[in-house]
Structure 1
């Protein structure tokens, strides 16, 4: 994923020709410097060894978080997660006696995961968890963020902060790609259609109340519009677009990623979101985007190309497999799959030259 991290010294890692980096390519990135090769006490608010957990009693809002990893006599390998399984830093190595420092902007809300509380409401305040084969944390700083660009996500279970592995939404992994000064606020919720997301007070109305001028709102709904008519679907999208614009926000339509349902070596109409009453939902969304002059990221087309290029067998790794995950599910993503779909979403943000693109690592 396009997730190389800004170094504290201000020198960003260079992106490859495609502008995307894998998790493996990120290991060991960061501003490292020699340090005393001796064990360090954990920062205030942190406890444990593997994982190391930290809690800060802050009110809901957006916070600039800076962490320093390493500093111990042995090499470290650390991942950083916040709130309900939002990945901020993929597995990162630090050499013995060195420290690497990273900065992020983090959205804190209650409930901390899915807005309707599916999977639990979590704990008030900011929760950080450092995992990995040998997690090491030498410093943590948490400060209110001064009016960051907030990118809101309106979506379903393929987007949301899934509370339990192996299920992973793309919205909870693209967070590693966003530089300080911008933040992802993920209001996606499992099981929501365009109509239910629009009407539930915890979802679109709650999101709408927080939008400030120029905040982008990414709208990916369609998986659960299985019996929605074309006119109802378009009306729901039109309503969200007009209300976001009325608040000064910038709506962005995202067509739903495909399901893994093959007929031979091609995906079926159901996989491509032609619903039970014959409505081609991605086509309807594209038409709304054209009519309303709203940017459209065609995640259906992008994910179709990816899944079909991998074929019936290899594409299974993007989704949930019984042999690996204990469940077979051709709609929801593994962490690897969410990462690959997130790459496509980030690619679309760059292609459309959206405001968030300036904050991508």
Structure 2
């Protein structure tokens, strides 16, 4: 999307060193009867935002649903670099650089849900309403506009495990948490993933796959990456579970895309990933089984196992470590924020090639 330079309505963006104390808490210009809808300028933001680096803005009375958000980033007096996150550390905008006196408008669609982060957490986990966090080297926000999402908003839903989910706390990050940054307004990422989830548990728990299906409509897309926790699932059951998910998604008019799992950073003595790294158990070669289901059901496939294998082995055992949390806590399965972004980029690239999503950044 081309960069758009605009003129601010007034100077005084919230930025590093900006004084929030004493600012007038004015009511936002209303876009509807809901009190949180409308545009908040610099002085009005002082009523809902705290901090300077990061700046955290909370709209606690917004119910669950999808919202179009437009932000103006920059400051009249100083250069800045601002990254925008929503809810549980979901990346909505990569770092946007602005020169002093220059302002950039960016828009995105965000899903507000309960629980806020991992879908298998208890209801009420996380902050109520919508939370927007303006981070980065020198975060600056001039204004925020919030409106109900257009009824034609396309959902990109994620059904996955801990490597996909919205991880609430650093240093952990799932690739699904970084995926929203690749979409423009009009696409809402709904991450119905959770740590420890398998094809068995996703279908067994009412708050997981069952809770997602009624949200789907014609034109929506569901990415399914489940395998890491199917260690005790036999091949026949694994394939049947994936087939059930595909059929139920299709019954809603949506498209199910199978995504083979990211590799673990587990190498053999030959310098190549071993069976554990390639998600092959004593009962099944799970990526191979998923590929077979995709072929049998004529379902789109993103072979993230093959792509991540090529990447990790290509970098080598040492240089690929920053993708994971090895140097932080020895974790060779879960990704760092950097690694989650790398894998989200691969998924976005493959999804774009499939031509299933309408609005890309």
TM-score normalised by the chain length of structure 2: 0.87
For 2:69 and 2:133, the matched residues in 1 are separated by: 13
CA distance in 2, matches of 1:270, 1:92: 39
Q: In the alignment, which residue of structure 1 is the partner of 2:165?
A: 160
Pick one of 197, 206, 228 that aligns with 2:202: 197
Instruction: Name the residue aligned to 1:186.
Output: 191
Provide the C-alpha distance between the structure 1 equivalents of 2:10 and 2:214, rounded to a whole number of angstroms. Answer: 49
Alignment match, 2:353: 351
Distance 1:228 1:340, change over 3 A: same
**In structure 1, how many angstroms separate the alpha carbons of the residues matched to 2:186 and 2:291?**
30
Q: Which residue is 2:109 aligned to?
A: 105
Do structure 1's residue 64 and structure 2's residue 68 form an aligned pair?
yes
Query: Is 1:274 paired with 2:280?
Result: yes
* Aligned-residue offset at 1:116: 1.8
CA contact (8 A) 2:6 2:105 kept: no
Aligned-partner Cα distance in 2 for 1:144–1:316: 42
- Does 2:175 match 1:170? yes
Q: Which moved more, 1:73-82 or 1:301-310?
A: 73-82
State the distance in 2 between where 1:120 and 1:335 align. 25
Unaligned runs of 5+ in 2: 14-41
Give me the whole-angstrom Cα distance separating, in 1, the residues matched to 2:125 and 2:285: 35
Secondary structure at 1:146's aligned position in 2?
A: coil
1:39 aligned to which of 2, 9, 12: 12
1:37 is displaced (CA, Å) by 8.8
Q: What is the aligned counterpart of 2:338 among 328, 336, 339? A: 336
Kept in 1, the 8 Å contact 2:115–2:123? The answer is no
Q: 1:339 Cα shift? A: 1.0
In 1, the alpha carbon distance for the partners of 2:117 and 2:144 equals 22
- The whole-number CA distance in structure 1 between the counterparts of 2:194 and 2:123 is 11
The range that moved more, 297-306 or 130-139, is: 130-139
Contact 2:114–2:123 (CA under 8 A) maintained in structure 1: no
Q: In the TM superposition, what are the counterparts of 1:276-355 in structure 2 within 5 Å?
A: 276-277=282-283, 279-322=284-327, 325=328, 327-353=329-355, 355=356
How many residue pairs get aligned? The number is 328
Q: Is the 8 A contact 1:106 1:184 kept in 2?
A: yes
Distance in 1 of aligned mates of 2:44 and 2:57: 8
CA apart distance, 1:332: 0.4
Match of 1:52 in 2: 55
- 2:257 counterpart SS class: strand
8 Å CA contact 2:80–2:140 kept in 1: the answer is yes
Q: Partner of 1:149 in structure 2?
A: 154
- Aligned Cα root-mean-square deviation (Å): 1.7
Structure 1 segments unaligned to the other structure (5+ residues): 1-5, 7-11, 13-29
Please give the alpha-carbon distance, in whole angstroms, between the structure 2 residues aligned to 1:320 and 1:303.
16
